[in-house]
Amino acid sequence: MAGVFPYRGPGNPVPGPLAPLPDYMSEEKLQEKARKWQQLQAKRYAEKRKFGFVDAQKEDMPPEHVRKIIRDHGDMTNRKFRHDKRVYLGSMWIMMRREKRDRRHFKRMRFPPFDDEEPPLDYADNILDVEPLEAIQLELDPEEDAPVLDWFYDHQPLRDSRKYVNGSTYQRWQFTLPMMSTLYRLANQLLTDLVDDNYFYLFDLKAFFTSKALNMAIPGGPKFEPLVRDINLQDEDWNEFNDINKIIIRQPIRTEYKIAFPYLYNNLPHHVHLTWYHTPNVVFIKTEDPDLPAFYFDPLINPISHRHSVKSQEPLPDDDEEFELPEFVEPFLKDTPLYTDNTANGIALLWAPRPFNLRSGRTRRALDIPLVKNWYREHCPAGQPVKVRVSYQKLLKYYVLNALKHRPPKAQKKRYLFRSFKATKFFQSTKLDWVEVGLQVCRQGYNMLNLLIHRKNLNYLHLDYNFNLKPVKTLTTKERKKSRFGNAFHLCREVLRLTKLVVDSHVQYRLGNVDAFQLADGLQYIFAHVGQLTGMYRYKYKLMRQIRMCKDLKHLIYYRFNTGPVGKGPGCGFWAAGWRVWLFFMRGITPLLERWLGNLLARQFEGRHSKGVAKTVTKQRVESHFDLELRAAVMHDILDMMPEGIKQNKARTILQHLSEAWRCWKANIPWKVPGLPTPIENMILRYVKAKADWWTNTAHYNRERIRRGATVDKTVCKKNLGRLTRLYLKAEQERQHNYLKDGPYITAEEAVAVYTTTVHWLESRRFSPIPFPPLSYKHDTKLLILALERLKEAYSVKSRLNQSQREELGLIEQAYDNPHEALSRIKRHLLTQRAFKEVGIEFMDLYSHLVPVYDVEPLEKITDAYLDQYLWYEADKRRLFPPWIKPADTEPPPLLVYKWCQGINNLQDVWETSEGECNVMLESRFEKMYEKIDLTLLNRLLRLIVDHNIADYMTAKNNVVINYKDMNHTNSYGIIRGLQFASFIVQYYGLVMDLLVLGLHRASEMAGPPQMP
């Protein structure tokens, strides 16, 4: 209760409990007041809370903390390296030039510094306790450089002396004159000697702006695309400059005039700037010798000699008196010396470039200082090669464009990410050597990329420690497609590769494998050759600008560095200019990478969002679209039919049955599922029929388009061919089935009549049957060679063969080599083989019609070919076919035509037309003769002319299984066109039919007597 009542001091004792309270305040009111007051005070003196938690100051964690985390989660085997030195970098132009001049063979570092399979070194194990080699440091003179000697090579010099720097925030500096002049002297190599602004006449920003606007180029200046494009000089009318009535200047106007006086010499001065014509002459002359007095007469200044005659002194006017100064008069500042030690320095600093002409200013970060900007703002020195002049122009171009685009920066609220992190309880801070941080970044980056690779299950890609992505084996097309990463991944990988190159160079250093000069040279090389050392430009092509700029800076620096005693070759370690380019690039690429990586990770974890959008129905998707609609309709029907409880799991089964039924329809296989409910079966059949109708209709419709010659996709053609093949085979199977069910179609009496007619004819012609080819038949080899030649002809033009075709060619060659073996095999087959391998059928698409192509087993094909040759030869010898069968080998077709005409001409009264007669020539065809040959009858007929073994072989060969994909049927009616001896069968069967049509008597008349046909 101490806070409730005020203390009244010793004079006023606290009223006892019995003492009466003043009447204006009751007990409850007083308690209330006390409570409110207490609350108020509690609020007033409490800790201020920010963002809902106490803002206590955090202590820095020890570096070991981070090291342990990296070691635990880095999950990579440590291969230990022990070397015993470490390096630190401080670099300077003079020292590097001296070093390159004095060192005989400057050896550049190896890139990449570490092997591809060498994991990043562990900092604590290998580098932490190693002393660095000495850095590049200029030996400072204890007298001349005394003002800066103590702090020149410190990290943040003078940070603790409030006299020169504002304190630990390190925002402002103010130096004494000796300090500034020493710094100016040390920096002199990099600074310009020019103090006269007139040097930059027509070579300053405004002149460049004007030349850009007028689309002209100052000699040595940058070139740009035209700013105003719509001017055509040919279409120009008369104007002030070429008007006949005006004075016409005959010589061409120089570019310099047009830029110096744009409004005078140009017709269309859009967006031009007026430049300053002349600044007052600067008479300051920079001294080289520090021992000269501050004010002296430089030999460069031309003295004006005193060589005029002196006039005699004129007398004074009358009213003037002669006057002399009294002796006691003293000039002002008589005791002050004319100059002190600092005067010469002060005058030099007065004309020095910024910031040396200031006494105080804001501190700036190293990366914000353009060290070489004033080099390329001057004219390119004479005698440089073209590439250097071009580089000067390019750098000027960037400079001008930046100046044009520059807008005064907007005032922004500064936000510090790390401070916000530090304010949360999730982040700790520590101080680490930056090389250690670099190694940790490389290792974590490696793990991160590896996680992504393994998430996509790409075990055949290997990411090495220098961030090269290599395939482990030759990839298939599918693997290559699967292993394509986007730009986000690859750009990240290449940025890490660059980081690793820089960090590794420093590690090589700290280990003492290279010295400071080699490191500086290596860094300069890395930044100037990012295009060769990494492939970053492949994933963000705009980056070619940075690469180009670094190349230009390299030319600029090399040709200034390698002058005098310093020759060409490695050893120029002036890396800061290139480093700035890549730092600014990183700063700009960060938001892009954030966005890209964000999208990549979102896609990894959530998948693509393209699933929601319906695809349009294109040609490619017509069929699948129909299928989907069909399935949807089936589902709808099922849901209607099914009772409530059993919907879900049954629908899928029914759909499976549906697709099975459809496959069966296509293959022409009967589909029956035992135990399937009738309504479902009916529904499936209904849908299959609907789909079959659609399928057949589209097939015929597309074939009609193909036949008509409309433009049809190649895939559509191929599909259509397959469909028509299936439809043909379905019809063929139906025909065969009907034959087996209803056949044979020739009655016994008819067959006997046919048979008897043939027997009588053969007897009348005294035909002796063809025997089985004897074992030592004299024409065997010749016939075999002819057969093989005929088989080989098919391959004379083909270059690409499939497996069975290669096999067939092999067998043909083998038969050529061992004819006897082949012949004995052939005869054995003719005698014994009655079961044959299935025959494949395909159709050749000639667009207007299809031609069936049968694929017969190669071994059987050779047998058939021999049999064909043998039969024709023997039949011809025995005069089986009468002369009316044309065309025949006995006479060439032109002779046949001639004899035909003669025959008609020799008929009696053939050309007689007096009674209005006319000649009629009747021609008829046997339709579908091949398909309607009955194999049983054929066998009997063949036995009349050939040995029964051959006859059986020939009919059995027609009675084989015909196969197309999943469709098979046995051919039991009609002959197969693709057999080698099919032509003989057809010719013989045709002869039998001729006899039936002609009758034996007329046939004999036509054929003539058998002795003299």
Q: Which residue has the tokens 């003179």?
A: 141
* Closest among 352, 339, 350 to 292, alpha carbons compared: 339
- Asked if residue 546 lies in contact with residue 578, where contact means CB atoms within 8 angstroms, the answer is no
Structural tokens at position 576 = 């800061």
- Asked if residue 85 lies in contact with residue 130, where contact means CB atoms within 8 angstroms, the answer is yes
Q: Which residues contact 206 (CB under 8 A, 6 or more apart)?
A: 273, 274, 275, 276
Q: Which residue has the tokens 């058998």?
A: 1010
Question: Average pLDDT, whole number, for the chain?
Answer: 85
pLDDT at 11: 47
Asked if pLDDT for residue 264 goes beyond 90, the answer is no
Q: Is the Cα dihedral 641, 645, 648, 654 positive or negative?
A: negative
- Alpha-carbon distance of 233 to 211, in angstroms, equals 18
Calculate mean pLDDT across residues 632-653: 78
State how far the alpha carbon of 875 is from the alpha carbons of 766, 884, 945, 981, in Å. 13, 15, 9, 13
- Alpha-carbon distance of 862 to 854, in angstroms, equals 15
Beta bridge partners of 361: 173
pLDDT at 136: 81
pLDDT at 238: 65
pLDDT digits (tens, 9 = 90+) for 73-89: 655 433 332 232 222 22
Beta bridge partners of 968: 963
- Asked if residue 221 lies in contact with residue 208, where contact means CB atoms within 8 angstroms, the answer is yes
Instruction: Give, for 314, the enclosing helix (H) or strand (E).
Output: none
Q: Which residues contact 138 (CB under 8 A, 6 or more apart)?
A: 92, 94, 95, 186
Query: Worst-scoring range by mean pLDDT, 33-47, 528-542, 665-679, 726-740?
Result: 33-47
User: Which residue did the predictor score with more confidence, 143 or 540?
Assistant: 540
pLDDT at 7: 42
Q: Which residues contact 719 (CB under 8 A, 6 or more apart)?
A: 702
- Alpha-carbon distance of 667 to 655, in angstroms, equals 19
- Alpha-carbon distance of 869 to 867, in angstroms, equals 6
Please tell me whether the peptide bond between 142 and the residue prior to it is cis, using omega within 30 degrees of 0.
no
Q: Which residue has the tokens 């019609």?
A: 849
Give the phi and the psi of residue 640 in degrees, each rounded to 5.
-65, -40
Query: Worst-scoring range by mean pLDDT, 428-432, 576-580, 640-644?
Result: 640-644
- Alpha-carbon distance of 393 to 376, in angstroms, equals 8
For β-strands 850-855 and 839-845, DSSP reports them as antiparallel
Asked if pLDDT for residue 933 goes beyond 80, the answer is yes
Calculate mean pLDDT across residues 864-888: 90
Residues in the chain: 1013
Query: Worst-scoring range by mean pLDDT, 71-75, 495-499, 782-786, 1005-1009?
Result: 71-75
Asked if pLDDT for residue 841 goes beyond 90, the answer is yes
- Alpha-carbon distance of 205 to 158, in angstroms, equals 37
pLDDT at 453: 92
For β-strands 131-133 and 85-87, DSSP reports them as parallel
Calculate mean pLDDT across residues 686-699: 94
Return the number of other C-beta atoms located less than 10 Å from residue 128's C-beta.
15
791: left (phi over 0), alpha (psi -120 to 50) or beta: alpha
At residue 973 the predicted structure's pLDDT band, cuts being 50, 70 and 90, is: very high
At residue 611 the predicted structure's pLDDT band, cuts being 50, 70 and 90, is: low
Asked if pLDDT for residue 148 goes beyond 80, the answer is yes
Give residue 901's identity as a one-letter amino acid code.
C
Residue 860 CA to its chain's centroid (Å)? 53
Asked if pLDDT for residue 736 goes beyond 90, the answer is yes
- Asked if residue 136 lies in contact with residue 91, where contact means CB atoms within 8 angstroms, the answer is yes
Q: Which long-range contacts (CB under 8 A, 24 or more apart) does 969-972 make?
A: 969/668, 969/729, 969/732, 969/733, 969/736, 970/736, 971/736, 972/736, 972/739, 972/740, 972/935
- Asked if residue 376 lies in contact with residue 556, where contact means CB atoms within 8 angstroms, the answer is yes
pLDDT at 6: 41
